[in-house]
Each structure stands twice: as structure tokens, then as C-alpha cells.
Amino acid sequence: MEGIYYFGEHVRWNLGFVNPNIAGAFIAMLLAFVIPFSGKFLDKGAKRVFSVLLFFIIEAPLWFLLAKTYSRGALVAACICVLAYAIILSIQARSFKQVAYFLLPKVALLALILCATGFIWRTTPSYISADGSVSARTTLWQGGLKMVATEPISGWGKDNSGSEYINWYQDIDDERKYAGMVNSYLYMAVERGLPILFVGLGFLLFFVFLGVNTSEGIFAAISTAGGLGILSYLILNFFSTLIVFSSIQILLGLFIGVIVISNIVTLYRFRLGILGKVIISAFMLSFACCFGAYSAGYVLNEGYVYRRGCMTVFSKNKAFGSIVLLMPDEDILGKYYGKELRKVLLNKKFNSIAFAVLNKQDKIENKSILDDVETVVLFGKSISCLKDLNKSGIRIVVVNPIGNPDITRDFELDKIFLPELDVFNQNPRWAAYSSERQLKADYLSGSAQRITDDALAAVLEYCITN
């Protein structure tokens, strides 16, 4: 369903897409594809008339539609593609006059449209510096780079980039919610790992290098149009997660098809030697991008968060030894339990010990990850995970349990914490069970089933002092 978006008093056009940024991306990709045709026929009188007509009938309306979306990322992508084709024209040994014929009408028209629509004010340094969406993305992307450096190979899991960023990297006072990285490259690298990004990016760069060429002829122009369309797509993915939108992927697929067909027709570059160079160039650039992302994340990472198997470990001391393993329940700690834990763990009293959270509560696939675990804290319904803890000698602490106490009968419990306010009516049977097992149940002051920060701090302090 479309939303209504504004820039000041101006309505940003969605054009039937989910939001104006996706609409702008679609238009920018179309513009990139059209650009070579308005610059291809600049050398002869009749063809120059055709070029001008093409510009005013097709390209100019697309520039206007792009401006009405007020999407800065789309504008950047389209302008870069214009400059790229101007460079191609200059390489084709055309005169400076012909390149000027190509650029000047576009620059003049674009300046007029940007001023007439008010888009120009959305690109000023003062507006950008005060724009919360820009600072939010910058902060999010820095966190995403840290996540890449923390888990570069296998990633954090499908659909986990936004939630895991909030859990472990977002500032404690930042309440903004994210479903993903708002950047396709970080989205792929964070969720799937750098190897997947390397292959995907290399694949698309191959078609950019294959498509964009300086040869003469209509099929060369068609191939270049497809290459510029994919180049536009690659640029746009810096500003949005376009890989999740089918309409954009269909257009991308059409550009790939255009490049393949036009090159087959002309047999251009379908020689093994040239193809090999294109492939090597594409994947070398992809590798450089992936290495750059990892290096940037490594530099930015302050080193509080580590990954060990299916656990996320939080420790201020890199040389941590023993681990307190926390098995959370959203009913107790909230949806973003990692962030709730960090609020407490950033306290100086917890400097000397590492706390870990199990990423997959259903089972512990590799039992060896428990080797350094001394204490397991089970929150709420996570008591059902006891069946996976077959290692002896682990202290087991239960907090605000939800479920039948009988599930714990085969285990030695060290401590049971119950909420002072029993919302789910669990306290009577757990209190009776505690008496039966000769355990003292402590009641967490001020805590309902959803635990308070003070109550959580009391639980964690018990784990490291007893």
C-alpha cells in the first residue's frame, strides 16, 4: 500500500510504487537506459534532429518524474550515468562540440526542473546536514560495517540484519527501528556473508563491463544502454535495499537480456580472451569492494561483540574466559533483548566477565560451544531448551519462568527468580516447586513478567558473584 510522503509542502510522487525512493530508482534506471540514444546521433544533421526529439519526448519527461519523487539517490545515479556516457563519447574521438551538444541541454533542463519543483533545496548542504534520514543511514551503515567485520563469512542470518543491529550495535538512546540495512550491499554482507556479496556484485559488474563499450553502431549503443542501466542499479543500491523489490529486479533482468542479445548479434566481446578479461576485472573490483567493507568495519569495531558458533558474545575484555550464557524470551526481555542486556552490561561491575546470547533457541547444534560456559540463565519459555544442555557442571538459573516446572526435574537448578507481579499466574506452582527442591525463590522487586533493568542487573550480578 502506498504511503503519502512530503518534502516541505511538496507531495513526493510514488508513481504506484511502495515509496518515492523506489519510484525514483525505477525512473533513474530507465533514464540511464535512454541516455545513450539521445547522444548516439549527434554527428549528422537529420540524426541530430532525431536525437533532440528523443530527448524532449522521452528523456525530459523522465527527468521531470524523477524530480517529483524528490529522491536524491535516484538523482545521483542518473547524473553519474550521464557523465559516464559523456566520457564514452569523448573516448569515441568525437569533438568537444559534440560532447557539449550532449551535455548542455541536459544540464540546462535539469537545472530548470530542479528549481521549478523545489528539488534543488533538498540537495543543499544545510538541508542535508539537518536531515535526520541522512544521519540515521550513516549511523546504521557504520553499524552494518561493524557487523560485517564481526561475522564476515556466514553472516548474521536471513532477515536478521535490522534486529541484530538494534540488539548489539545501535546506541542505547536511539529508539529508531530498522528492518534491514537500507543498503543492498550491507544487507547481503550482513545477512549472508561477504562470499555471497562477492559473487553477486561480481556477476553484475561483469554485465556492466560487458555492456558499456566505445564501439560504433546501434547494437553497441543498445549494449551500452543496458550497461548504464545496470550501473544505475548498482549506484542506487547504496541508498536503498532494492534487491527486495520485484519490479526493480524485472527491469534489471531486462537490461541483462539486452546486453546478452546485443553482444550475441554483433559477436562483440564473445571471444574467450576478451570475456576472460571482463570476468577478471569484474571480480577483482568485487573483491576490492568486499575487502574494503571488511576493513572499514574492522577499524570501526570497538570490539564489544563477538560471534562464537550460534552464540553472540558481549564482553569488554577481549581475553574473556568463562561465559554466562543467556537464553532470552521476548515476553521477559522484549523483542530487542540484546539492547536491553547492553543497557545493564555496560555498567562497570560487569567488566570482567563475558555474557553470551544463544542465537538459535531451538537447539544447540555444536555442543563444544558450551565448553567455556559456567552458568546458563533461562528466561521465561526458554526453560524448554534445557534438553539441549547435556553438559554436567553448568549452573542453571531460571528467571520469570513460563511453563511446567517438571521439565527441570532432571537438572540441578542453582537459583529461581520469580516476578513480584505475577501477570501469567506462574508463581504458585514455581514457588511450590522451589520448596520441594529446597531452593529459595527470590522475587524481583518491581518486576512483572517483563523484567526491569534493575531486576535484570540483580540477576546478572548474582551470576557473577555466587
Q: What is the pLDDT along the chain (466 residues), one digit of tens a residue?
A: 456 887 888 899 999 899 999 999 999 999 999 988 876 655 555 566 666 676 778 888 999 999 999 999 999 999 999 999 988 888 876 677 778 878 888 899 899 999 999 999 998 888 888 888 888 999 999 999 999 999 999 999 888 899 999 999 999 888 899 989 999 999 999 999 999 999 999 999 999 999 887 676 778 888 999 999 999 999 999 999 999 999 999 999 999 999 998 888 776 555 556 788 899 999 999 999 999 999 999 999 877 888 876 778 887 766 666 788 888 888 888 889 888 888 888 776 677 678 888 765 445 555 566 677 888 899 988 888 777 666 567 888 999 988 888 888 778 888 899 998 888 888 999 999 888 888 888 898 776 778 888 888 889 888 888 7
Give residue-wise pLDDT tens across range 179-198: 899 999 999 999 999 999 99
DSSP strand pairing (415-419 vs 441-444): parallel
Please count the CA atoms within 13 angstroms of the CA of 293 that sit on its side-chain side: 30
Are the beta carbons of 167 and 224 closer than 8 angstroms?
no
| Fold of the CATH domain 305-465 | Rossmann fold (3.40.50)
Are the beta carbons of 268 and 211 closer than 8 angstroms?
no
DSSP strand pairing (305-308 vs 311-314): antiparallel
Are the beta carbons of 341 and 453 closer than 8 angstroms?
no
**Packing angle, helices 218-236 and 20-40, rounded to 10:** 160
Residue showing cell 543500491: 237
Give residue-wise pLDDT tens across range 145-177: 999 999 999 999 888 899 999 999 999 888 899
3-class SS at 375?
strand
Are the beta carbons of 124 and 166 closer than 8 angstroms?
no
Task: Taking the CA atoms of 329, 332, 335 and 336 in sequence, report the sign of the dihedral they define.
Answer: negative
Residue showing cell 528539488: 119
Write down the domain spans for the chain.
5-125, 305-465
Backbone angles phi, psi at 118, to 5 degrees: 85, 0
